[in-house]
Structure 1
Amino acid sequence: MKKKTAGIGAALLFLASKFKWLVVVLKLTKLSTFISMLITLGAYGLFFGWKFAVALVYLLFVHEMGHLVAARKKGIATSPAIFIPFMGAVIGMKELPKNAKDEAYIAFAGPLFGLLSFLPAIPLYFWTKDPLWGLIIGFGALLNLFNLFPVSPLDGGRIVTVLSTKIWLIGLIVLIPWMIYDGSAIMILIFIIGLSTWWARIKELYEQKQLETELAVLNEVEEVFHEVDDKSPYLSLYEPIRSELMRRHLIQKAEEFGQKEFDYNQLLYVMKKRYIPFKDDKKKLQRDEYAYRVSAYSTAKNFLRQWSLGLTYWEEDTPFNWLDKEKEKVTERLTKLQTYYLTSTKEKILWLIAYLALVGILTGFYVWGHDILESSRLLVG
């Protein structure tokens, strides 16, 4: 009877210690969150019992609230937290973070709140000696420790973006034997999403080079326009400059692709070949540069022809304004790609220390919680 009373009292104390969280729940929880929470609670309760189900849903909820609070501090709107039975819980950001540091900040808040969520179970264990609290400590630590694995979409993968996205590849390689050994659907899903995220980052690196070449082409076209603008707007002065410039460029490209003589049709055929990623990136970049160059000069010529013949009547229809808008669009995207992952060495060191410290603390609590459960089994045995 005393043990039952102590257990009930401990549970009430545990809930009381979380009263502040109740206020947060009332403010932040949406109907979809509440309904999905009840469904998940029922699913876990059927298989593992209501005590473990309540503890697990509570741990997941606090973890997701960490992401939500951090996102709101960064001014990013989010969707409500949604619980998915036997998968976990997620919140969606309605817009991307401004940079990798903000992304890491939002990701780090989840496991950090997760650590805080099971800390009240420590004094409750010492008071009651109930192994249930040991289970909450160990499982809470394991849950958040798993999320710190450096593969996107896990929190760890988003945190290490501030260090280097190359770490994602290391994480994926380590994940392969783990996935094969575990064989669970969630591990396979994490690997597939992680692989697609890593590939998207590789494509971003290629896109950055592509935008750099596009900007160079636009600057080149602008120089030709200035030559025309300084003398006369008539097409007769523009055409020889364009023709000679394009002729030299096409002959150069033909030579780069191994053609002995300039053959326009043959050049297009060679450039339409399939390219092997990484191995043929340079040739693919040359093809894309060529295609953009032809498109840019063709558009510029059409603008100039209409402008020089008096077929356009508005200032924004001039070829010079078209160039400015095109350069602005390319520069904006290029700047975002160049600066998103830009982090100082000092910031990288601080983030690395914070990441490793959280991993170390959670590992310690996991080992301790596991030892509590093992000790209780020995005593029962």
Structure 2
Amino acid sequence: MDEFESYYPQKPHLVEKESRGNMASTVFSLLLFIITFAWFLGGDYSLIFMLVAVLVIHELGHFALMKLFNYKNVRMLFIPLMGAFVHGKKKIYSQKERALVLLAGPLPGIIVGLACLYFGSDTEMSWLLEIGVLFLVLNVLNLIPLDPLDGGQLLKNMFFGKFELLQLIFALLSSLTVIVAGWIWQEWIIVAFGFFLGVRVRNIQKLYNIRKDMKEEHLAYVSTYEELSNKDFAGIKQIVMEYTPALKVYEEQAPQEKFDAIIASQVNGVLIAPTKRDASFLFKLVVMAIWIASFVASIYMVLNTNFSTIFNEL
């Protein structure tokens, strides 16, 4: 232990509440998602049902692997007109586990989509072809290397998880790409999503600057909150408050207990959870091969499927 550790005040206890009612929040967000799309699509419930099926299978893949790898507070939420996501935490992450969690979302959907097109083409069942295309399109798009899609997260995890400046540049380029794509296609929802990502980039930039200052001060910010020393906590707290002036006002006005809870949460939010860099070159090669094969197989199947039954019904 640092010989000067005792000179620093004891860091406040971090209160991390166990999420309760995860199923209720999932069901509520799903109902809101369905209602919003029903209004947006004019009551095309068959399309809504297929869309929900695709998203649920995708997110269940992430959910199952997170549970398998003992992530805590795992929950699934649907966002109207956007999609869905699964969130969970670990004290120490594994590069290999993270890659498998990311692949577990799109891969099952792509496999289901390929099977639907294969059997739908033979049986001339138009609904099977339709849902097959939906499975492939949504899951393949999700593998595009843009942040925060699964493909972008996979790229960061495999190749530049340790390089924060590259992550910031990658997030910025992803936001600009989405905005430009939406503008070219005249899809204003995509443009709006791109600007939403731009707000996220601003937050990433702030976090990058905070961590840059912490690095210059030689503070151990790659740590869990529990293992953070009182000395490092004091230094990180000072930097966080410099970047968040509202905290200084809150410190003067709020009871000490409430401020301690807030500042503990803020400091925890700028820490980088320790990650085991356990992905070998061979593992990365296999992951990239699967990633490429997903695109190739999907494009091949779409180009070699007879969609005449769908067009005949139009």
Query: Same fold, TM exceeding 0.5?
Result: yes
Task: For residue 106 of structure 2, give the secondary structure of its aligned residue in structure 1.
Answer: helix
**Structure 2 unpaired stretches of 5+:** 1-21, 222-234, 240-270
Distance of 1:347 and 1:55 partners within structure 2: 34
Conserved? CA contact 1:152–1:193, under 8 Å: no
Task: For residue 81 of structure 1, give the secondary structure of its aligned residue in structure 2.
Answer: strand
Give per-residue Cα distances to partners, 1:91-139, cap 9 Å, x unaligned. 2214466133332221111111222343452355235413322221112
Distance of 1:199 and 1:355 partners within structure 2: 32
Q: Which residue number in structure 2 is paired with residue 121 of structure 1?
A: 116
2:282 matched to 1:346? Answer: yes
Q: Which residue number in structure 1 is paired with residue 261 of structure 2?
A: none
2:194 matched to 1:187? Answer: yes
Q: Which residue number in structure 2 is paired with residue 71 of structure 1?
A: 66
2:293 matched to 1:357? Answer: yes
Q: Which residue number in structure 2 is paired with residue 159 of structure 1?
A: 154
Task: For residue 90 of structure 1, give the secondary structure of its aligned residue in structure 2.
Answer: strand
Equivalent of 2:100 in 105, 118, 123: 105
Shift in alpha-carbon separation, 1:360–1:120, aligned structure 2, 3 A: closer
Conserved? CA contact 2:59–2:85, under 8 Å: yes
Q: Which residue number in structure 2 is paired with residue 316 of structure 1?
A: none
Structure of larger gyration radius: 1
**Structure 1 unpaired stretches of 5+:** 1-28, 215-287, 293-332
Quote the offset at 1:56 in angstroms: 0.8
Shift in alpha-carbon separation, 1:73–1:45, aligned structure 2, 3 A: same
Distance of 2:51 and 2:106 partners within structure 1: 14
Q: Which has the higher strand share?
A: 2
Give per-residue Cα distances to partners, 1:19-52, cap 9 Å, x unaligned. xxxxxxxxxx823323433343344345251211
Equivalent of 1:92 in 71, 84, 87: 87
Distance of 1:366 and 1:193 partners within structure 2: 34
Distance of 1:195 and 1:352 partners within structure 2: 30
Shift in alpha-carbon separation, 1:209–1:179, aligned structure 2, 3 A: farther
Distance of 2:95 and 2:61 partners within structure 1: 18
Distance of 1:202 and 1:357 partners within structure 2: 38
Q: Which residue number in structure 2 is paired with residue 12 of structure 1?
A: none
Equivalent of 1:53 in 48, 54, 71: 48
Conserved? CA contact 2:34–2:48, under 8 Å: yes
Shift in alpha-carbon separation, 1:156–1:347, aligned structure 2, 3 A: same
Shift in alpha-carbon separation, 1:124–1:352, aligned structure 2, 3 A: closer
Quote the offset at 1:354 in angstroms: 2.2
Question: Which 4+ runs in 1 deviate beyond 6 A?
Answer: none
Distance of 1:93 and 1:31 partners within structure 2: 17
Quote the offset at 1:207 in angstroms: 4.4
Aligned residue identity for 1:162:
M
Shift in alpha-carbon separation, 1:206–1:100, aligned structure 2, 3 A: farther
Shift in alpha-carbon separation, 1:380–1:92, aligned structure 2, 3 A: closer
Distance of 1:129 and 1:123 partners within structure 2: 10
Quote the offset at 1:190 in angstroms: 3.5
Give matches, 1:266-277, under 5 Å.
none
Give per-residue Cα distances to partners, 1:154-176, cap 9 Å, x unaligned. 21121112122547355455445
2:207 matched to 1:211? Answer: no
How many residue pairs match? The answer is 233
- TM-score, structure 2 as length reference: 0.60
Quote the offset at 1:67 in angstroms: 0.5
Aligned-CA RMSD value: 3.7
Distance of 1:154 and 1:172 partners within structure 2: 11
Identity %: 19
Give per-residue Cα distances to partners, 1:2-33, cap 9 Å, x unaligned. xxxxxxxxxxxxxxxxxxxxxxxxxxx82332
Task: For residue 79 of structure 1, give the secondary structure of its aligned residue in structure 2.
Answer: strand
Shift in alpha-carbon separation, 1:163–1:124, aligned structure 2, 3 A: same
Q: Which residue number in structure 1 is paired with residue 30 of structure 2?
A: 37
Shift in alpha-carbon separation, 1:30–1:213, aligned structure 2, 3 A: closer
Aligned residue identity for 2:183:
I
Q: Which has the higher helix share?
A: 1
Higher relative contact order by CA 8 Å / sep ≥ 6: 1 or 2? 2
- TM-score, structure 1 as length reference: 0.50
Give per-residue Cα distances to partners, 1:262-300, cap 9 Å, x unaligned. xxxxxxxxxxxxxxxxxxxxxxxxxx9xx99xxxxxxxx
